[in-house]
Chain A
Amino acid sequence: NAGVTQTPKFQVLKTGQSMTLQCAQDMNHNSMYWYRQDPGMGLRLIYYSASEGTTDKGEVPNGYNVSRLNKREFSLRLESAAPSQTSVYFCASSESQNTEAFFGQGTRLTVV
């Protein structure tokens, strides 16, 4: 049972480059989330998708875009990477309200 799968696991970008982080879940969950994790900051929500076809901004959306391609997939795009976007990115999904979120293994992104 794969759960939530993120790719890639590691990435180094130069300032100004673009990239897309991929996320897929096989649990038929309605809601999906993108978080970033920084030392001393915990997890901060970038964007979320409560259901297929909808996306909403979270706490720190600037510099990111998302696409809920279908029920399974939720991608995060950095159009012009900046050093401040160096972080560990986690995708998560949940069935609905009041149910736990399941997390991917994370993507460690470094922007130089």
Chain B
Amino acid sequence: GDSVTQMEGPVTLSEEAFLTINCTYTATGYPSLFWYVQYPGEGLQLLLKATKADDKGSNKGFEATYRKETTSFHLEKGSVQVSDSAVYFCALFAAGTGNQFYFGTGTSLTVIP
């Protein structure tokens, strides 16, 4: 079945460091891929998305490229800030498999000044 595997955390970085959070997926169809962010005490918010192979999603300095050949959608940011501290979830949606989203387990990021 469809699934998402993402890098386990927690991840702790210093401010202005480079961030990579790995995400790989398994899907029978052609999924859309998403990164969501969850700040403490809040619901999930969409960070970025990509709907087909080679698409790059970007938002607030974060980027992820849909790589069909490696079934990956790694999240990157060149210079993290303290305000980026949150939990990040990779997710996929594949039509025809129940029209539902599949989420990874989440990666907690803490950025220290």
A interface with B by C-beta (< 8 Å): 4, 31, 33, 35, 40-43, 45, 48, 50, 56, 58, 90, 92, 94, 97-98, 100-106
Contacts and interface: CB of A to CB of B under 8 A. Distances in A.
Interface of B: 32, 34, 36, 42-46, 49, 51, 89, 91, 93, 95, 98-101, 103-106
A50 B95 CA distance: 11
Interface centre among B34, B36, B98, B99 (most CB of A within 10 A): B99
B interface, by DSSP: helix, strand, loop or mixed? strand
Contacts, number: 55
Contacts of A58: 100
Contacts of B45: 103
Contacts of B51: 98
Contacts of B95: 97-98
B32 A98 contact: yes
Contact of B43 (A40, A94, A104): A104
